[in-house]
Amino acid sequence: MSFVLSLLIAFPLLAAPLVYAVGRMDKRMGIYLSLALSGVVLLIAGYVFWDVYASTPAIGQYALQEKYSWISVSNFGLDYFLGVDGLSSPLLFVSALLTVLVIFGSRNIIDHHQAEYYSLIFLFEGAIMGVFTSLNLILFYIFWEVVLIPMFFFIGVWGGPRRKYAALKFIIFTFAGSTIMLLGFLYFYMGMSTPTFDIPIIQTMLQAHQIPVALQYVPLLASFIGFAVKLPLVPFHTWLPDAHVEAPSPISVLLAGVLLKMGGYGFLRISIGLFPNASVQYAWVFLALGLFSMFYGAIAALLQKDMKKMIAFTSINHMGFVLFGAYATLISGNYLGIQGAIFQMFTHALAVGSLFMLTGYIQHQAGTREIPLLKGLGTTMPRTAAILVLGAAAAMGLPPFSSFLAEFMVIAAGISASAITAISILVPVITAGYFLWMIKRTVLSTPEPGHEGHDMGWPDVAAFAVYLIPLVILIVASYLILSPALPVAEFLKELGR
Amino acid sequence: MIDYLTLTVVMIGATALLLPLLQVIKGRSENLPGYVLAVVLAASMVLLGLFTLNPSSVSWAGSLLIPDQLGGIFALVTVGVTLAVTVASFDFEKSTSNPVYYSLLAFTALGMVLLAYSEDLLMLFVAWELMSLPTYVLAGFDKKLRSNEASVKYAIIGAMSSAVILYAISLAYGLTGSTQISVVAMRFAALLSTSSQSTALASVSILLFVAGFGFKMSIVPFHMWIPDAYEGAPTTISTILAAATKKAGFIAAIRVLLAITTFYALTHSPLFTLANVFAVLAVLTMTVGNISALTQKSMTRLLAYSSIAQAGYMLIGFVAFSNAPGSAAASLGLTGTVFHVLNHAVMKGVAFLAAALVLLQLRRADLGAYDGLGKRMPITAFTLAVAFLGLAGVPPLSGFWSKLLLVLSVAYGPYGWVALVAILNSAFSLGYYAWIIKRMYIDEGESPEKVKEPIWFVVVFAVMVGLIIGIGLFPQQVINFVSGAVNSFAG
């Protein structure tokens, strides 16, 4: 039996106390050590990603499985069960990549309690790896909850002036959502003829039509609430702008790049993967909600003056695509929707991640994030401005960034579900509109006299290249993500028939 | 062959009797009696552990005591908590009369050990009194107005609950002619088919047992004394009350009530069954406890109400058991109860001791003292945070597993709503637990200076936090052991 996935979870969790201990002795050493250790995690995640690509698991199968009995008492049993497929492997890889970049980007921004900060980052990373690899619902729930703890402290300790409010709002929203989700799981478990929490076993039962659709409605609704808060879906999104505005910018990268993916992953793996018949029946509702979120996020972003808040709403807009694409496949049978949704999660993590990190630099150097106050970045901070333009291009889905491909696939699947959804083409248009308007106001305007900016150094430019270059590579090598995603899409589509 | 249990009883009893003599030794080390008691209790734990691993099934002391594994678990838990309190008292209880303090602690421990193994109603009552009387004195040990008030209130309520239990015993004896629990239970079952008058009296007796034990178990509506007593008593003694004597209440209730339930439905009416009584009490207890905890301004009161709420979760196992004795769900539920008793003793014990340390060092018990505690007393704050997350049932800490077993035991069948209420309560309780954690780590305290954390407290904290996390990560062995003990008791 393989142990790579356990290593992927355990390595960051064990790194956390080590980083804390070293960080307490020497701050600089702590950061270097964090970078090195997160690099190791990235290598492991890269191996997992490559393994899933090279030996694409067959339809409904999971690679690198690990299964041990955790507890069993009376008629109740619980397994420690891990596995990956084409849905989770890109997310594992992008989470590990973002963690390295976040640690690098935090070195000048986080100026107090560094040891605690970096060790919490590893706790967060370990828990995230657990969320994306768990194939047992309770194990999944455990990791899902553990993620909340470091994020609560990230916002509450290192955040902006209203950090306490934002941290509490975040924890209340997400904890309420996940409790309802757990209730749904338990209801589902109790209704099954042979109760189990193991996802692959439930899916085998689903294929044999052993789980009636009547049992699926309640857990579908419950898990919808849990995942809709995380995604976030309008109207469950109100914690997100607050959390983003108050969080330090590296943490915003983790929020948007990793935490929101938990919602998208949950919809695909659990809402569709475990309650497929009910999902198919209500697919139109989810599709409409996704579409509404896309428009709402785009229009709300148009109205923001704070650059970071604008990007936060962009996230809502982009994550709407994930839901939209996933359910478009269920309706039309067109694989592009789910493939596009997985692709969109990957590209959004990098594109919006780079923009969030950039707002941190801009605030650090220019002292403000207010778009009307930022003038003439193109002349005062040319390198920053260039990256802002490139990041915005990636976010609005401009070729050669692969975000273009992801959004195109999702919209195409939507149109094959119904021609009316062609209206979704307007969303990238609005997105392009507000990004271009923002660039016009900040980059192309004339600087106010006497306003000297400090441009970013070349190491940071290199870091931003790491965000953006994979997006360019992936438009050519899109098969790296799309080919393992295909069996997932086929499986999820067939499950609900 | 040496009987470890006899040896334990004699050892603790002799220590309790001899400790006050240390009072007359001049120039002794001030902590000498504490060291003596700690060594004795540690040795007792070893002996009890050996005894529990290889129990003898024969009745002992003329069928007054039954030395089974279930009793062993409770004896270990209660002696363990007493040991933790003793060690923490090295720094907390420095008065010149501390030999008496430790002697009373030893008497309580002795009472709890005997109670854990009691198989006869009269033995149970004697052990109950042996456990309770010293705590009345200990609650007033501060000799301050608050402490004395707590002591008097606790003593009056305690005496009343003892009277209620005694009355229940007298009814049971009158109806069955025996004080042996297994015989009482069986004859109660026979009564059900005879006259309705005896049935009614038997029901009264059972309800009186519920009420009498309920006072110690801190079940709503018998909980009124709890917050005042916990707040007024020295905080180390509150630890004993919340983490040890309360658990002794649970073993008494398990021994008496569940034995009776195996044979007995409360009445012929489908509505007024013992399972329904327990279900209502459980739901009331957890809800009232949690809602009241949210509004408290002092740490000890908050912990007191949280302790009440946790008693509600523990009662869920009683619901599962009395609903279908002998079933898999009953065994799961009782396993959950005993497991939660064990976990709660550790979590609540360490939380109270942390509160005791804050009180000792900062001279404050209000929640304001906890602002910014993460910087001032990092070990204490971390301990409290782990204990609170465990109490809230956050996975993968130990409290999560026992709550999960409890919820699963009633999830199927007619008491699914109890499971639902328990989960909602658990989520709700995170509100005040997380609120305190937020105050400790995110809010700014009035002064940033470090506060000393005495070594003995740190040792106790480390052991107990290790237990919370260790049992949380590897629950299987403990669950196996508990469920084995439960099955040999109930099966």
Least Cα distance to A464 among A369, A363, A351 occurs for A351
Domain that holds residue A295: 282-497
The pLDDT mean for chain A works out to: 90
Packing angle, helices B378-392 and B328-362, rounded to 10: 160
Per-residue pLDDT at B56: 63
Residue range B122-129: mean pLDDT, rounded: 94
- Judging contacts by C-beta atoms under 8 Å, the chain A residues touching residue B434 are 152, 171
Give yes or no: residues A345 and A367 share one domain: yes
CB contact, 8 Å: B475 with chain A?
A: yes
What is the sign of the dihedral through the CA atoms of A102, A105, A110 and A111? positive
Both ends of chain B: CA-CA distance in Å?
Answer: 29
Highest averaged pLDDT of the listed ranges A40-44, A64-68, B57-61: A40-44
Q: What are the residue ranges spanned by the domains of chain B?
A: 273-491
Cβ–Cβ under 8 Å, residues A361 and A252: no
- Report the percent of chain B where pLDDT is more than 90: 52
Helix (H) or strand (E) holding A78: strand A76-84
The complex scores an ipTM of 0.70
Q: pLDDT tens-digit profile of A281-331?
A: 999 999 999 999 999 999 999 999 899 999 999 999 999 999 999 999 999
- Of the ranges A357-366, B108-117, B133-142, which one carries the lowest mean pLDDT score? A357-366
Per-residue pLDDT at B3: 78
Q: Is B364 helix (H, G, I), strand (E, B) or coil?
A: coil
Residue B89 neighbours by CB under 8 Å, 6+ apart = B34, B98, B101, B102, B105, B236
Structure tokens at B464: 């107990």
Q: pLDDT tens-digit profile of B222-242?
A: 888 999 999 989 999 999 999
- Residue A189's identity, in one-letter code, is Y
CB contact, 8 Å: A179 with chain B?
A: yes
Q: Is A464 helix (H, G, I), strand (E, B) or coil?
A: helix
Q: Which of A71, A145, A164 sits opposite B401 (nearest CB)?
A: A71
Residues found in chain B: 491
Residue range B303-324: mean pLDDT, rounded: 93
Residue range B264-282: mean pLDDT, rounded: 78
More confident of the two residues B265 and B397 = B397
Q: Which long-range contacts (CB under 8 A, 24 or more apart) does A170-174 make?
A: A170/A239, A170/A242, A170/A243, A171/B434, A173/A229, A173/A236, A173/A238, A173/A239, A174/A148, A174/A229, A174/A230, A174/A239
Strand partners, A290: none
If one counts every other C-beta atom within 10 angstroms of the C-beta of residue B350, the result is 30
Least Cα distance to A30 among A44, A40, A20 occurs for A20
Q: How far apart are CA A138 and CA B395, in angstroms?
A: 9
Give yes or no: residues A296 and A274 share one domain: no
Q: How would you label B473-488 residue by residue, b for 16+ Cβ within 10 Å and e otherwise?
A: eebeebbebbbebbee
pLDDT beyond 70 at A72: yes
Instruction: Give the total number of structural domains in chain A.
Output: 2
**pTM listed for this prediction:** 0.82
pLDDT beyond 90 at B40: yes
pLDDT beyond 90 at B488: no
Per-residue pLDDT at A51: 92
Helix (H) or strand (E) holding A72: strand A63-73
Residue range A382-393: mean pLDDT, rounded: 91
If one counts every other C-beta atom within 10 angstroms of the C-beta of residue B22, the result is 16
Residue A473 neighbours by CB under 8 Å, 6+ apart = none
Torsion of CA B237, B239, B240, B245, to 10 degrees: 130
The pLDDT mean for chain B works out to: 88
Per-residue pLDDT at A392: 93
- Phi, psi angle pair for A342, to nearest 5°: -65, -45
pLDDT beyond 60 at B58: no
If one counts every other C-beta atom within 10 angstroms of the C-beta of residue B206, the result is 22
Which among A13, A76, A169 is the top mutation candidate for probing chain B, defined by the most B β-carbons within 10 Å of its own β-carbon?
A76
Burial class (CB in 10 A: 0-12, 13-18, 19+), B1: exposed
Per-residue pLDDT at B327: 84
Least Cα distance to A291 among A425, A435, A430 occurs for A425
Helix (H) or strand (E) holding A319: helix A307-332
Q: How far apart are CA A96 and CA A115, in angstroms?
A: 20
Per-residue pLDDT at B264: 63
- Judging contacts by C-beta atoms under 8 Å, the chain B residues touching residue A69 are 476
Q: pLDDT tens-digit profile of A142-176?
A: 999 889 889 989 998 898 888 888 888 888 888 88
pLDDT beyond 90 at B443: no
Cβ–Cβ under 8 Å, residues B135 and B141: no
Per-residue pLDDT at B338: 95
- Judging contacts by C-beta atoms under 8 Å, the chain A residues touching residue B396 are 142, 146
Q: How close is the nearest chain A Cα to the Cα of B334, in Å?
A: 11
pLDDT band at B1 (very low <50, low <70, confident <90, very high): very low
- Report the percent of chain B where pLDDT is more than 70: 95
Look at residues A221, A246, A281 and tell me which one is the last residue of a structural domain.
A281
Q: Residue by residue, what is the 3-state secondary structure of A389-407?
A: HHHHHHHHCCCCCCHHHHH
Burial class (CB in 10 A: 0-12, 13-18, 19+), B295: exposed
Per-residue pLDDT at A1: 64
pLDDT beyond 70 at B266: no
pLDDT beyond 90 at A6: yes
Helix (H) or strand (E) holding B285: helix B274-294
pLDDT beyond 50 at A196: yes
Highest averaged pLDDT of the listed ranges A127-141, A146-160, B16-30, B318-332: A127-141
pLDDT band at A497 (very low <50, low <70, confident <90, very high): confident
pLDDT beyond 60 at B284: yes
| Radius of gyration of chain A, Cα coordinates, nearest whole angstrom | 22
- Report the percent of chain A where pLDDT is more than 70: 99
Q: Is B397 helix (H, G, I), strand (E, B) or coil?
A: coil
Per-residue pLDDT at B469: 94
Give, in order, the Cα–Cα distances in Å from B450 to each of A21, A48, A391, B365, B379: 19, 46, 46, 18, 11
Give yes or no: residues A134 and A245 share one domain: yes
Among chain B residues, CA nearest to A163 = B442
pLDDT beyond 80 at B491: no
- Of the ranges A336-345, B182-191, B276-285, B382-391, which one carries the lowest mean pLDDT score? B182-191
CA B354 to the chain's CA centroid: 18
- Judging contacts by C-beta atoms under 8 Å, the chain B residues touching residue A183 are 420, 423
Residue range A72-101: mean pLDDT, rounded: 90
Cβ–Cβ under 8 Å, residues B343 and B395: no
Give yes or no: residues A477 and A362 share one domain: yes
Q: Which of A153, A176, A190 sits opposite B411 (nearest CB)?
A: A190
Look at residues A250, A281, A312 and tell me which one is the last residue of a structural domain.
A281
More confident of the two residues A64 and A496 = A64
Q: How close is the nearest chain A Cα to the Cα of B372, in Å?
A: 11
